């Protein structure tokens, strides 16, 4: 099953650059496999990145839907590092990648501490120095975790602020667009009214001139007839 998952991810990467491939179809193909078919989602992330690169004009909702097919928890640390710097990913996906990247770093630190404790349990003449180093490592890990947690909280607050700013900007753009359309429609109606009014006025003037000229012409002919 894992081999099938790799083949499907490779196929998705091949067809991702197809301009006629719609987001719904891409998502259906990506989600056709069961979750256990992929140990890591690095191949799926590569296909998603290629699709976003080949389709830069899709909407933000479609972009979020395409990115939702991959599980950020199943990305390796290398893929997380690349995704965190990927400008093609939507902001929400980047935040998720950063969060799980920090979790992987914490697990790596915890694994280092466990290994250090296992070494410390072995009899050694330098047990005192090892215990001192373990305490220093533990304190360092605690400080790093606290810093990471503060950074994540600050990043989440900043993301929420950016989302609010983007929402306000979209509303302002929509409002300006509606005003422009109303003004454009009004000017078109006014110009059409002036154009048809001038044509109607010209016809009226011409008809009046013909009415005035015809009596004069008939009077002149009457005087010349004797």
> What is the model's pLDDT at position 26?
96
> What is the model's pLDDT at position 185?
73
Whether residue 198 is contained in a domain is answered as no
> What is the model's pLDDT at position 212?
45
> What is the model's pLDDT at position 224?
47
Whether residue 156 is contained in a domain is answered as no
Instruction: State the pTM of this model.
Output: 0.53
**DSSP line for 165-222:** HHHHHHHHHHHHHHHHHHHHHHHHHHHHHHHHHHHHHHHHHHHHHHHHHHHHHHHHHH
Whether residue 175 is contained in a domain is answered as no
Whether residue 72 is contained in a domain is answered as yes
> What is the model's pLDDT at position 70?
93
> What is the model's pLDDT at position 196?
54
> What is the model's pLDDT at position 204?
46
Distance CA 124, CA 128 (A): 9
Distance CA 15, CA 51 (A): 8
> What is the model's pLDDT at position 1?
81
Total domains, the chain: 1
> What is the model's pLDDT at position 12?
95
Distance CA 89, CA 6 (A): 22
pLDDT per residue of the chain (226 residues) written in tens, 0 to 9: 888 889 999 999 999 999 999 999 999 999 998 888 899 999 999 999 999 999 999 999 999 999 999 998 899 988 988 998 999 999 888 888 888 877 777 766 666 655 555 555 555 445 555 555 656 666 676 676 666 666 666 766 777 777 777 778 888 888 888 887 777 776 666 665 666 555 545 544 455 545 444 555 455 444 544 4
Whether residue 182 is contained in a domain is answered as no
Whether residue 4 is contained in a domain is answered as yes
Whether residue 178 is contained in a domain is answered as no
> What is the model's pLDDT at position 99?
83
> What is the model's pLDDT at position 105?
73
Structural domain of 63: 1-90
Nearest to 96 by CA among 84, 85, 104: 84
Nearest to 166 by CA among 98, 94, 91, 56: 91
Whether residue 219 is contained in a domain is answered as no
> What is the model's pLDDT at position 130?
54
Helix (H) or strand (E) holding 74: none
């Amino acid at each position: 099953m894992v081999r099938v998952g790799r083949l499907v991810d490779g196929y998705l990467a091949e067809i991702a650059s197809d301009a006629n491939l719609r987001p719904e179809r891409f998502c259906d193909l990506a989600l056709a496999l069961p979750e256990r078919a992929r140990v890591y989602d690095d191949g799926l992330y590569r296909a998603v990145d290629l699709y976003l690169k080949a389709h830069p004009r899709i909407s933000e909702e479609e972009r979020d839907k395409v990115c939702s097919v991959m599980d950020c928890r199943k990305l390796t640390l290398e893929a997380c590092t690349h995704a965190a710097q990927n400008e093609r990913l939507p902001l929400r996906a980047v935040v998720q990648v950063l969060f799980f990247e920090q979790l992987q770093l914490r697990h790596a630190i915890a694994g280092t501490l466990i290994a250090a404790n296992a070494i410390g349990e072995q009899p050694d003449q330098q047990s005192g120095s090892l215990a001192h180093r373990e305490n220093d490592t533990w304190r360092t890990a605690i400080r790093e975790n606290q810093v990471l947690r503060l950074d994540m909280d600050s990043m989440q607050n900043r993301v929420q602020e950016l989302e609010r700013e983007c929402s306000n900007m979209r509303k302002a753009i929509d409002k300006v667009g509606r005003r422009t359309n109303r003004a454009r429609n009004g000017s078109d109606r006014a110009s059409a009214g002036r154009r048809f009014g001038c044509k109607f006025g010209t016809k009226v003037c011409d008809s009046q001139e013909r009415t005035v000229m015809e009596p004069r012409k008939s009077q002149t002919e009457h005087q010349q007839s004797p």
